[in-house]
Amino acid sequence: MLTRSIYTEEHHQFRESVQRMYARELQPYVEQWETEGIVSRDFWRACGDNGMLLPDIPEQYGGCGLDFKFNAIILEETALAGTTGPAFGVHNDIVAHYINNYGSEAVKQHWLPRMATGEAIGAICMSEPGTGSDLKNIRTRATPVDGGYVLNGSKTFITNGINADVAVIAARVGDDSGARSISLFVCGCDQPGFTKGRKLDKVGNRSSDTAELFFEDLFIPTENLLGKQGEGFIYMMKELPQERLSIAISCQAAAQHAYDIAVAYVKERQAFGKAVFDFQNTRFVLANIKTQLQVGWQHLDACIQALVNKQLSTDEAAAAKLWHSELRCKVVDDCLQLFGGYGYIEEYEIARLWRDARVMRLYGGTSEIMKDLISRSI
Ligand SMILES: Cc1cc2nc3c(=O)[nH]c(=O)nc-3n(C[C@H](O)[C@H](O)[C@H](O)COP(=O)(O)OP(=O)(O)OC[C@H]3O[C@@H](n4cnc5c(N)ncnc54)[C@H](O)[C@@H]3O)c2cc1C
Protein backbone atom coordinates (compact mmCIF):
# COMPACT_ATOMS: atom_id res chain seq x y z
CA MET A 1 0.00 0.00 0.00
CA LEU A 2 1.23 3.55 -0.72
CA THR A 3 2.29 5.47 2.38
CA ARG A 4 -0.64 7.13 4.11
CA SER A 5 0.91 10.47 4.92
CA ILE A 6 -2.02 11.92 6.90
CA TYR A 7 -1.19 9.87 9.99
CA THR A 8 1.56 10.78 12.49
CA GLU A 9 3.43 8.60 14.97
CA GLU A 10 0.78 9.43 17.58
CA HIS A 11 -1.93 8.11 15.25
CA HIS A 12 0.07 4.92 14.56
CA GLN A 13 0.44 4.26 18.28
CA PHE A 14 -3.27 4.80 18.79
CA ARG A 15 -4.03 2.37 15.94
CA GLU A 16 -1.85 -0.28 17.56
CA SER A 17 -3.62 0.18 20.90
CA VAL A 18 -7.02 -0.21 19.15
CA GLN A 19 -5.77 -3.41 17.46
CA ARG A 20 -4.60 -4.83 20.81
CA MET A 21 -7.89 -3.94 22.46
CA TYR A 22 -9.89 -5.51 19.58
CA ALA A 23 -7.92 -8.76 19.85
CA ARG A 24 -9.13 -9.03 23.46
CA GLU A 25 -12.53 -7.37 23.50
CA LEU A 26 -13.96 -7.50 19.97
CA GLN A 27 -12.75 -10.40 17.87
CA PRO A 28 -13.79 -13.15 20.34
CA TYR A 29 -17.35 -11.74 20.43
CA VAL A 30 -18.17 -10.93 16.80
CA GLU A 31 -20.04 -14.19 16.19
CA GLN A 32 -21.96 -13.87 19.48
CA TRP A 33 -23.09 -10.33 18.60
CA GLU A 34 -24.15 -11.54 15.15
CA THR A 35 -26.33 -14.23 16.71
CA GLU A 36 -27.77 -11.96 19.39
CA GLY A 37 -28.31 -9.07 16.97
CA ILE A 38 -26.70 -6.58 19.28
CA VAL A 39 -23.26 -5.51 20.55
CA SER A 40 -22.83 -6.01 24.30
CA ARG A 41 -22.83 -2.96 26.53
CA ASP A 42 -19.66 -4.34 28.17
CA PHE A 43 -17.84 -3.71 24.91
CA TRP A 44 -18.94 -0.07 24.85
CA ARG A 45 -17.68 0.28 28.44
CA ALA A 46 -14.36 -1.31 27.48
CA CYS A 47 -14.06 1.18 24.60
CA GLY A 48 -14.65 4.00 27.07
CA ASP A 49 -11.98 2.59 29.40
CA ASN A 50 -9.54 2.47 26.46
CA GLY A 51 -10.08 6.07 25.31
CA MET A 52 -11.88 5.07 22.12
CA LEU A 53 -15.09 7.02 22.61
CA LEU A 54 -15.48 10.69 21.63
CA PRO A 55 -11.86 11.09 20.42
CA ASP A 56 -12.40 14.56 18.94
CA ILE A 57 -14.67 16.00 21.62
CA PRO A 58 -13.03 18.51 24.04
CA GLU A 59 -11.52 17.10 27.21
CA GLN A 60 -13.67 19.38 29.37
CA TYR A 61 -16.66 17.22 28.32
CA GLY A 62 -14.89 13.91 28.84
CA GLY A 63 -13.64 13.52 25.26
CA CYS A 64 -10.00 13.06 24.24
CA GLY A 65 -9.52 16.50 22.62
CA LEU A 66 -7.89 14.93 19.54
CA ASP A 67 -8.58 15.29 15.80
CA PHE A 68 -11.02 13.40 13.57
CA LYS A 69 -8.21 11.15 12.30
CA PHE A 70 -8.49 9.24 15.58
CA ASN A 71 -12.20 8.68 14.85
CA ALA A 72 -11.18 7.49 11.38
CA ILE A 73 -8.69 4.99 12.81
CA ILE A 74 -11.41 3.46 14.99
CA LEU A 75 -13.74 3.12 11.99
CA GLU A 76 -10.97 1.58 9.86
CA GLU A 77 -9.85 -0.90 12.49
CA THR A 78 -13.42 -1.99 13.21
CA ALA A 79 -14.05 -2.77 9.55
CA LEU A 80 -10.61 -4.41 9.19
CA ALA A 81 -11.58 -6.64 12.13
CA GLY A 82 -14.46 -7.85 9.97
CA THR A 83 -17.44 -6.18 11.63
CA THR A 84 -19.44 -2.99 11.41
CA GLY A 85 -21.48 -3.99 14.48
CA PRO A 86 -20.43 -1.33 16.98
CA ALA A 87 -21.88 1.81 15.41
CA PHE A 88 -19.05 4.17 16.30
CA GLY A 89 -19.96 6.36 13.35
CA VAL A 90 -23.31 7.14 14.97
CA HIS A 91 -22.01 7.52 18.52
CA ASN A 92 -18.65 9.28 18.04
CA ASP A 93 -19.07 11.06 14.74
CA ILE A 94 -22.73 12.09 14.71
CA VAL A 95 -24.55 12.17 18.06
CA ALA A 96 -21.61 13.53 20.10
CA HIS A 97 -21.05 16.21 17.46
CA TYR A 98 -24.66 17.43 17.42
CA ILE A 99 -24.56 17.71 21.22
CA ASN A 100 -21.12 19.33 21.29
CA ASN A 101 -21.83 21.79 18.46
CA TYR A 102 -25.41 22.82 19.26
CA GLY A 103 -26.22 21.63 22.81
CA SER A 104 -26.76 23.88 25.83
CA GLU A 105 -24.01 23.81 28.45
CA ALA A 106 -26.24 21.69 30.74
CA VAL A 107 -26.90 19.13 27.99
CA LYS A 108 -23.20 18.90 27.11
CA GLN A 109 -22.20 18.51 30.76
CA HIS A 110 -24.82 15.82 31.29
CA TRP A 111 -24.46 13.63 28.20
CA LEU A 112 -20.95 13.93 26.74
CA PRO A 113 -19.02 12.57 29.77
CA ARG A 114 -21.43 9.62 29.94
CA MET A 115 -21.01 8.97 26.21
CA ALA A 116 -17.21 9.12 26.64
CA THR A 117 -17.20 6.33 29.23
CA GLY A 118 -19.68 4.14 27.33
CA GLU A 119 -22.25 4.51 30.09
CA ALA A 120 -24.54 6.20 27.55
CA ILE A 121 -24.88 5.04 23.92
CA GLY A 122 -26.14 7.48 21.30
CA ALA A 123 -28.71 7.21 18.49
CA ILE A 124 -29.65 9.63 15.71
CA CYS A 125 -33.37 9.68 14.88
CA MET A 126 -34.24 11.19 11.52
CA SER A 127 -35.90 8.50 9.36
CA GLU A 128 -39.60 7.75 9.78
CA PRO A 129 -41.87 5.05 8.40
CA GLY A 130 -43.17 7.53 5.80
CA THR A 131 -39.91 9.18 4.82
CA GLY A 132 -36.15 8.65 4.83
CA SER A 133 -34.68 10.41 1.81
CA ASP A 134 -37.08 13.32 1.95
CA LEU A 135 -36.20 14.55 5.45
CA LYS A 136 -38.02 17.84 4.94
CA ASN A 137 -41.25 15.88 5.17
CA ILE A 138 -40.86 14.22 8.55
CA ARG A 139 -44.08 14.07 10.57
CA THR A 140 -42.89 13.78 14.18
CA ARG A 141 -44.26 16.90 15.82
CA ALA A 142 -42.93 18.95 18.74
CA THR A 143 -45.63 21.10 20.32
CA PRO A 144 -44.38 24.03 22.45
CA VAL A 145 -45.66 23.91 26.07
CA ASP A 146 -44.62 25.65 29.30
CA GLY A 147 -40.93 24.89 29.89
CA GLY A 148 -40.37 22.89 26.73
CA TYR A 149 -41.99 20.76 24.03
CA VAL A 150 -44.17 17.67 23.80
CA LEU A 151 -43.18 15.22 21.04
CA ASN A 152 -45.50 12.81 19.23
CA GLY A 153 -44.52 10.57 16.33
CA SER A 154 -42.32 7.63 15.43
CA LYS A 155 -38.95 6.84 13.89
CA THR A 156 -37.68 3.72 12.17
CA PHE A 157 -34.39 2.09 11.10
CA ILE A 158 -32.65 3.67 14.11
CA THR A 159 -29.12 2.30 14.58
CA ASN A 160 -28.36 1.58 18.28
CA GLY A 161 -32.12 1.95 18.80
CA ILE A 162 -32.28 -0.85 21.39
CA ASN A 163 -28.98 -0.08 23.14
CA ALA A 164 -29.46 3.69 23.09
CA ASP A 165 -29.54 5.86 26.22
CA VAL A 166 -29.54 9.23 24.48
CA ALA A 167 -31.19 10.20 21.23
CA VAL A 168 -30.98 13.21 18.94
CA ILE A 169 -34.44 13.53 17.42
CA ALA A 170 -35.58 15.56 14.42
CA ALA A 171 -39.13 16.90 14.80
CA ARG A 172 -41.37 19.55 13.28
CA VAL A 173 -42.46 22.54 15.36
CA GLY A 174 -45.57 24.40 14.22
CA ASP A 175 -47.82 23.88 11.22
CA ASP A 176 -45.46 24.98 8.44
CA SER A 177 -44.31 22.24 6.10
CA GLY A 178 -40.75 22.08 4.81
CA ALA A 179 -37.29 22.57 6.22
CA ARG A 180 -37.79 25.75 8.24
CA SER A 181 -39.99 24.13 10.86
CA ILE A 182 -37.57 21.28 11.65
CA SER A 183 -35.78 21.35 15.01
CA LEU A 184 -33.45 18.93 16.78
CA PHE A 185 -33.85 17.74 20.38
CA VAL A 186 -31.77 15.68 22.79
CA CYS A 187 -33.63 13.18 24.90
CA GLY A 188 -32.81 10.44 27.41
CA CYS A 189 -34.32 7.17 26.15
CA ASP A 190 -35.73 6.29 29.59
CA GLN A 191 -38.14 9.26 29.65
CA PRO A 192 -41.90 8.61 29.97
CA GLY A 193 -43.42 8.61 26.48
CA PHE A 194 -40.24 7.25 24.82
CA THR A 195 -40.84 3.64 23.74
CA LYS A 196 -38.41 1.32 21.99
CA GLY A 197 -40.17 -0.93 19.47
CA ARG A 198 -38.99 -4.16 17.94
CA LYS A 199 -35.43 -4.86 16.87
CA LEU A 200 -35.59 -5.07 13.09
CA ASP A 201 -34.55 -8.34 11.45
CA LYS A 202 -32.02 -7.29 8.83
CA VAL A 203 -30.39 -8.98 5.82
CA GLY A 204 -26.92 -8.07 7.08
CA ASN A 205 -25.07 -5.92 9.61
CA ARG A 206 -26.88 -8.09 12.12
CA SER A 207 -24.75 -7.34 15.15
CA SER A 208 -25.73 -3.68 14.86
CA ASP A 209 -29.14 -3.26 16.52
CA THR A 210 -31.69 -1.34 14.49
CA ALA A 211 -35.08 -0.40 15.94
CA GLU A 212 -38.34 1.44 15.67
CA LEU A 213 -38.95 4.17 18.25
CA PHE A 214 -42.25 5.71 19.35
CA PHE A 215 -42.88 9.05 21.07
CA GLU A 216 -46.17 9.61 22.84
CA ASP A 217 -46.55 12.91 24.71
CA LEU A 218 -42.81 12.86 25.31
CA PHE A 219 -41.85 16.00 27.27
CA ILE A 220 -38.54 17.62 26.33
CA PRO A 221 -37.33 20.63 28.37
CA THR A 222 -36.35 23.79 26.48
CA GLU A 223 -32.68 23.35 27.39
CA ASN A 224 -32.70 20.10 25.36
CA LEU A 225 -33.46 21.94 22.12
CA LEU A 226 -30.30 21.84 20.00
CA GLY A 227 -29.38 25.33 18.82
CA LYS A 228 -32.32 27.44 17.68
CA GLN A 229 -35.87 26.36 16.96
CA GLY A 230 -36.40 25.93 13.20
CA GLU A 231 -32.70 25.58 12.36
CA GLY A 232 -32.52 21.79 12.66
CA PHE A 233 -32.35 21.23 8.92
CA ILE A 234 -29.43 23.65 8.59
CA TYR A 235 -27.55 21.76 11.34
CA MET A 236 -28.30 18.45 9.63
CA MET A 237 -26.85 19.74 6.36
CA LYS A 238 -23.71 20.87 8.24
CA GLU A 239 -23.22 17.55 10.04
CA LEU A 240 -24.11 15.13 7.24
CA PRO A 241 -20.70 15.43 5.46
CA GLN A 242 -18.99 13.96 8.53
CA GLU A 243 -21.58 11.15 8.76
CA ARG A 244 -21.07 10.35 5.08
CA LEU A 245 -17.30 10.38 5.35
CA SER A 246 -17.55 7.97 8.30
CA ILE A 247 -19.47 5.55 6.08
CA ALA A 248 -16.91 5.99 3.29
CA ILE A 249 -14.08 5.15 5.73
CA SER A 250 -15.81 1.97 6.93
CA CYS A 251 -16.47 0.95 3.33
CA GLN A 252 -12.89 1.37 2.16
CA ALA A 253 -11.53 -0.62 5.13
CA ALA A 254 -14.16 -3.36 4.73
CA ALA A 255 -13.29 -3.69 1.04
CA GLN A 256 -9.62 -4.01 2.01
CA HIS A 257 -10.49 -6.73 4.53
CA ALA A 258 -12.53 -8.70 1.95
CA TYR A 259 -9.57 -8.49 -0.47
CA ASP A 260 -7.11 -9.62 2.23
CA ILE A 261 -9.12 -12.73 3.14
CA ALA A 262 -9.78 -13.54 -0.52
CA VAL A 263 -6.03 -13.43 -1.32
CA ALA A 264 -5.32 -15.82 1.57
CA TYR A 265 -8.09 -18.19 0.44
CA VAL A 266 -7.17 -18.43 -3.25
CA LYS A 267 -3.52 -19.12 -2.42
CA GLU A 268 -4.66 -22.14 -0.35
CA ARG A 269 -7.53 -23.49 -2.45
CA GLN A 270 -6.62 -25.97 -5.18
CA ALA A 271 -8.40 -26.64 -8.48
CA PHE A 272 -7.18 -28.43 -11.61
CA GLY A 273 -3.96 -29.29 -9.77
CA LYS A 274 -2.96 -25.73 -8.87
CA ALA A 275 -3.85 -22.92 -6.51
CA VAL A 276 -6.93 -20.90 -7.54
CA PHE A 277 -4.63 -17.88 -7.33
CA ASP A 278 -2.68 -19.22 -10.32
CA PHE A 279 -5.55 -18.85 -12.78
CA GLN A 280 -5.13 -15.70 -14.81
CA ASN A 281 -8.72 -14.69 -14.12
CA THR A 282 -8.12 -14.77 -10.35
CA ARG A 283 -4.94 -12.73 -10.65
CA PHE A 284 -6.65 -10.15 -12.87
CA VAL A 285 -9.66 -9.84 -10.56
CA LEU A 286 -7.34 -9.31 -7.57
CA ALA A 287 -5.10 -6.92 -9.52
CA ASN A 288 -8.13 -4.87 -10.41
CA ILE A 289 -9.31 -4.75 -6.79
CA LYS A 290 -5.82 -3.92 -5.56
CA THR A 291 -5.68 -0.99 -7.98
CA GLN A 292 -9.06 0.32 -6.84
CA LEU A 293 -8.06 -0.01 -3.18
CA GLN A 294 -4.83 1.91 -3.82
CA VAL A 295 -6.73 4.76 -5.46
CA GLY A 296 -9.44 4.55 -2.79
CA TRP A 297 -7.07 4.95 0.18
CA GLN A 298 -5.49 8.02 -1.33
CA HIS A 299 -8.85 9.58 -2.09
CA LEU A 300 -10.11 8.74 1.38
CA ASP A 301 -7.07 10.32 3.01
CA ALA A 302 -7.57 13.50 0.99
CA CYS A 303 -11.18 13.63 2.23
CA ILE A 304 -10.20 12.95 5.88
CA GLN A 305 -7.60 15.73 5.71
CA ALA A 306 -10.14 18.09 4.11
CA LEU A 307 -12.62 17.34 6.90
CA VAL A 308 -9.99 18.00 9.58
CA ASN A 309 -9.21 21.30 7.78
CA LYS A 310 -12.98 22.04 7.72
CA GLN A 311 -12.83 22.11 3.92
CA LEU A 312 -14.82 19.01 2.93
CA SER A 313 -17.86 20.24 1.02
CA THR A 314 -21.29 18.61 0.98
CA ASP A 315 -20.87 17.35 -2.59
CA GLU A 316 -17.35 16.03 -1.94
CA ALA A 317 -18.59 14.08 1.11
CA ALA A 318 -21.52 12.77 -0.93
CA ALA A 319 -19.11 11.70 -3.70
CA ALA A 320 -16.94 9.89 -1.14
CA LYS A 321 -19.94 8.09 0.35
CA LEU A 322 -21.17 7.14 -3.13
CA TRP A 323 -17.82 5.93 -4.47
CA HIS A 324 -16.55 4.00 -1.45
CA SER A 325 -19.90 2.32 -0.74
CA GLU A 326 -20.23 1.22 -4.37
CA LEU A 327 -16.60 0.04 -4.27
CA ARG A 328 -17.26 -2.03 -1.16
CA CYS A 329 -20.26 -3.78 -2.72
CA LYS A 330 -18.38 -4.57 -5.94
CA VAL A 331 -15.27 -5.79 -4.11
CA VAL A 332 -17.11 -8.12 -1.71
CA ASP A 333 -19.09 -9.56 -4.59
CA ASP A 334 -15.97 -10.18 -6.70
CA CYS A 335 -14.20 -11.69 -3.66
CA LEU A 336 -17.14 -13.96 -2.83
CA GLN A 337 -16.97 -15.30 -6.39
CA LEU A 338 -13.37 -16.35 -5.80
CA PHE A 339 -14.51 -18.47 -2.84
CA GLY A 340 -16.81 -20.52 -5.08
CA GLY A 341 -19.61 -22.31 -3.19
CA TYR A 342 -17.95 -21.74 0.17
CA GLY A 343 -18.49 -18.02 -0.35
CA TYR A 344 -22.19 -18.63 0.12
CA ILE A 345 -21.81 -20.58 3.34
CA GLU A 346 -22.25 -18.74 6.62
CA GLU A 347 -19.16 -20.31 8.21
CA TYR A 348 -17.05 -18.31 5.78
CA GLU A 349 -16.53 -14.70 6.75
CA ILE A 350 -16.83 -13.51 3.15
CA ALA A 351 -20.53 -14.47 3.22
CA ARG A 352 -21.15 -12.09 6.13
CA LEU A 353 -19.06 -9.34 4.54
CA TRP A 354 -21.19 -9.66 1.41
CA ARG A 355 -24.45 -9.34 3.39
CA ASP A 356 -23.09 -6.49 5.50
CA ALA A 357 -22.06 -4.42 2.49
CA ARG A 358 -25.47 -3.88 0.95
CA VAL A 359 -26.82 -1.38 3.45
CA MET A 360 -23.96 1.02 2.78
CA ARG A 361 -25.63 2.15 -0.47
CA LEU A 362 -28.83 2.84 1.47
CA TYR A 363 -28.20 4.47 4.82
CA GLY A 364 -26.71 7.88 5.43
CA GLY A 365 -28.56 8.78 2.22
CA THR A 366 -28.99 6.41 -0.74
CA SER A 367 -26.65 6.37 -3.75
CA GLU A 368 -29.37 8.16 -5.73
CA ILE A 369 -29.57 10.95 -3.14
CA MET A 370 -25.75 11.24 -3.22
CA LYS A 371 -25.90 11.67 -7.02
CA ASP A 372 -28.60 14.29 -6.62
CA LEU A 373 -26.46 16.22 -4.12
CA ILE A 374 -23.36 15.98 -6.31
CA SER A 375 -25.28 17.09 -9.40
CA ARG A 376 -26.45 20.25 -7.61
CA SER A 377 -22.82 21.38 -7.38
CA ILE A 378 -22.21 21.05 -11.13
C1 LIG B 1 -29.71 -0.78 8.72
C2 LIG B 1 -30.16 0.65 8.63
C3 LIG B 1 -29.74 1.55 9.58
C4 LIG B 1 -30.19 2.87 9.54
N5 LIG B 1 -29.83 3.75 10.55
C6 LIG B 1 -30.45 4.96 10.61
C7 LIG B 1 -30.26 5.81 11.76
O8 LIG B 1 -29.50 5.50 12.68
N9 LIG B 1 -30.95 6.98 11.81
C10 LIG B 1 -31.80 7.38 10.81
O11 LIG B 1 -32.38 8.44 10.92
N12 LIG B 1 -31.98 6.59 9.70
C13 LIG B 1 -31.35 5.40 9.59
N14 LIG B 1 -31.55 4.58 8.49
C15 LIG B 1 -32.46 5.02 7.45
C16 LIG B 1 -31.80 5.35 6.13
O17 LIG B 1 -31.05 6.53 6.22
C18 LIG B 1 -32.92 5.42 5.07
O19 LIG B 1 -33.41 4.09 4.90
C20 LIG B 1 -32.44 5.98 3.76
O21 LIG B 1 -32.11 7.35 3.90
C22 LIG B 1 -33.49 5.84 2.65
O23 LIG B 1 -34.76 6.27 3.09
P24 LIG B 1 -36.04 5.32 2.87
O25 LIG B 1 -35.70 3.98 3.41
O26 LIG B 1 -37.24 5.99 3.41
O27 LIG B 1 -36.18 5.17 1.30
P28 LIG B 1 -37.01 6.12 0.34
O29 LIG B 1 -36.69 7.52 0.64
O30 LIG B 1 -38.43 5.69 0.37
O31 LIG B 1 -36.39 5.76 -1.08
C32 LIG B 1 -36.84 4.65 -1.88
C33 LIG B 1 -36.07 4.68 -3.20
O34 LIG B 1 -36.37 5.92 -3.88
C35 LIG B 1 -35.15 6.57 -4.20
N36 LIG B 1 -35.32 8.01 -4.12
C37 LIG B 1 -35.88 8.73 -3.12
N38 LIG B 1 -35.81 10.05 -3.39
C39 LIG B 1 -35.16 10.15 -4.59
C40 LIG B 1 -34.77 11.25 -5.42
N41 LIG B 1 -34.99 12.52 -5.06
N42 LIG B 1 -34.15 10.99 -6.58
C43 LIG B 1 -33.93 9.72 -6.97
N44 LIG B 1 -34.27 8.63 -6.24
C45 LIG B 1 -34.87 8.86 -5.06
C46 LIG B 1 -34.15 6.08 -3.15
O47 LIG B 1 -32.83 6.26 -3.59
C48 LIG B 1 -34.56 4.63 -3.02
O49 LIG B 1 -33.97 3.90 -4.05
C50 LIG B 1 -31.05 3.28 8.49
C51 LIG B 1 -31.44 2.36 7.49
C52 LIG B 1 -31.02 1.06 7.57
C53 LIG B 1 -31.50 0.09 6.53
User: Which domains can be identified in the chain, with CATH numbers?
Assistant: 9-117 (1.10.540.10), 122-230 (2.40.110.10), 234-376 (1.20.140.10)
The residue whose CB lies within 8 Å of the most ligand 1 atoms, and thus the one to mutate among 127, 131, 160, 162, is: 127
356 C-alpha vs ligand 1 centroid, how far in Å? 16
Q: Is the shortest distance between the CB of 95 and ligand 1 below 6 Å?
A: no
Q: Is the shortest distance between the CB of 366 and ligand 1 below 6 Å?
A: yes
DSSP 93: I
pLDDT value at residue 116:
98
Give the pLDDT of the chain (378 residues) as one tens digit per residue.
Answer: 789 999 999 999 999 999 999 999 999 999 999 999 999 999 999 999 999 999 999 999 999 999 999 999 999 999 999 998 999 999 999 999 999 999 999 999 999 999 999 999 999 999 999 999 999 999 999 999 999 999 999 999 999 999 999 999 999 998 777 888 999 999 999 999 999 999 999 999 999 999 999 999 999 999 999 999 999 999 999 999 999 999 999 999 999 999 999 999 999 999 999 999 999 999 999 999 999 999 999 999 999 999 999 999 999 999 999 999 999 999 999 999 999 999 999 999 999 999 999 999 999 999 999 999 999 999
Active site residue 326: no
